[in-house]
Amino acid sequence: MNVHVAVQTQAHRLDSNTAAFARDVLDGLTKPQKELSPKYFYDDTGSELFVEITRLPEYYPTRTELGILRGRAAEIAALIPPDAAIVEFGAGATTKIRLLLAAHQVAAYVPVDISGDFIITQAEALQRDFPQLAVHPLAADFTKPFALPPAVRDLPKVGFFPGSTIGNFEPQEALRFLESARDILGHGARMIIGVDLEKDENVLVPAYDDAAGVTAQFNLNLLIRINRELGADFDLSAFAHRAIYNRDQHRIEMHLVSLRDQSVHLFGERIGFRAGESIHTENSYKYSLERFRALAQQAGWTPARCWTDADAMFSVHAIETNGSRV
Ligand code: AVI
C-alpha cells in the first residue's frame, strides 16, 4: 500500500496534529535522503533536553548571547522607543527578554508561540515582575503571517528573535521569515536578532555532539516520540547520533545513522535502512556578519547596529525599516 494511503486509512483514528505529524514522518522517511523536521524535537522530554543542552559547557550560543545582551543592554535599549511594543517571535523562557525589560521600560510585550499554554504561564510570571508592562501573549505559528493584538497596533514595534533560531531555517525560509516579520511589525519597526557565527569546526561539532551525550539523547528522542505517538518500532540501540559541519553550506547537520541493515514498521509499512544510511534531522546555519546583513537587506531591512562577544562567537543585530525612531 502507498504510504499516503496508509496514513489516510488510519487518519480517522488520529487527531489533526498527530495526523500531520504522521504524514510528515512518512513523507520524510520515504525520501532518497531520509529526513525528519526539527520542529518535532520539542515534545516535553525534548524541551527539557534542550534546556539541558543550553547549559552544557560545549554549547556556547546561549551563554554567549546572554553575555552580549547583559553587557550591551543599555545600548540595545536605546534603540527601543519607550512607548514601544516588543514582539518576541517563538517566545520560550523569559530570561533574555527580562534583561531588556530590566534595562528599559516599554509599553507592551507580545510573546508569540505555537504553544499557547507555555507562554501564558511565562507571561503571568512576567506580569507579576513588571506590573507596568501590558503583556499580550499570542498563540500563533510565528513562521507564518499573523495579526498583532489590537491593543498594540498603534504603538511603535520592536521584534525580538534571540537564540539563533533563524539558523534552523533554510536560507529561503529565513528570507521569508524576515519579510513576514517586516510585514507584521510594519513601517518604522526595528528588530533585535541573535545570530550564531561561523567558526572552527573543532568548536562547532562538540557544541552539537557533547561529551555527556545530551544532544544525542535530544536527537534520539525523536524516534522515541515516533514510536510512542505513531506506534512505530524503531530500535533505539540500532541508531547513533552524528553531527557534521557542512562547510560549503555553512551549517551543522544532525543525523541519526542506522548501525545495521534493518527495517522499521509504521502504519503497516516497512521502511528499509542500509547500514550507514542516515535520517537528516536538523540544520543549524552559521552566518558571517556580512552574509546575515545581506540577508536582512534582501528582506527589506536596513542593518543598524551589531554586537558580538570578544571572541566573535555570536552576534546580536539591530535591523530597521525606513522611518524607525527612538
Ligand atoms: C534552537 N536552535 C537554535 C538550536 C541550535 O543550536 O540550532 C537547536 C539545537 N540542536 C541541537 N542543539 C541545539
Atom of ligand 1 lying closest to residue 61 CA: 6
Q: What per-residue confidence (pLDDT) applies to 120?
A: 86
pLDDT by residue (tens digit) across 258-316?
999 999 999 999 999 999 999 999 999 999 999 999 999 999 999 999 999 999 999 99
pLDDT at 196 over 60: yes
Our answer on whether the CB atom of 62 is closer than 6 Å to any ligand 1 atom is: no
Q: What per-residue confidence (pLDDT) applies to 8?
A: 64
Our answer on whether the CB atom of 215 is closer than 6 Å to any ligand 1 atom is: yes
Q: What is the mean pLDDT of residues 104-133?
A: 90
pLDDT at 1 over 80: no
Distance 264 CA to ligand 1 centre (A): 27
Task: Give the per-residue SS3 of the chain.
Answer: CCHHHHHHHHHCCCCHHHHHHHHHHHHHHCCCCEECCHHHHCCHHHHHHHHHHHCCCCCHHHHHHHHHHHHCHHHHHCCCCCCCEEEEECCCCCHHHHHHHHHCCCCEEEEEECCHHHHHHHHHHHHHHCCCCEECCEECCCCCCCCCCHHHCCCCEEEEECCCHHHHCCHHHHHHHHHHHHHHHCCCCEEEEEEEECCCHHHHHHHCCCCCCHHHHHHHHHHHHHHHHHCCCCCHHHEEEEEEEECCCCEEEEEEEECCCEEEEECCEEEEECCCCEEEEEEEECECHHHHHHHHHHCCCEEEEEEECCCCCEEEEEEECCCCCC
Our answer on whether the CB atom of 278 is closer than 6 Å to any ligand 1 atom is: no
Our answer on whether the CB atom of 165 is closer than 6 Å to any ligand 1 atom is: yes
Q: pLDDT-derived band of residue 9, with 50, 70 and 90 as boundaries? A: low
What percent of the chain lies above the pLDDT cut of 90? 86
pLDDT at 325 over 90: no
Our answer on whether the CB atom of 167 is closer than 6 Å to any ligand 1 atom is: yes
Q: What per-residue confidence (pLDDT) applies to 159?
A: 98
**pTM beyond 0.85:** yes
pLDDT by residue (tens digit) across 41-98?
999 999 999 999 999 999 999 999 999 999 999 999 999 998 999 999 998 789 999 9
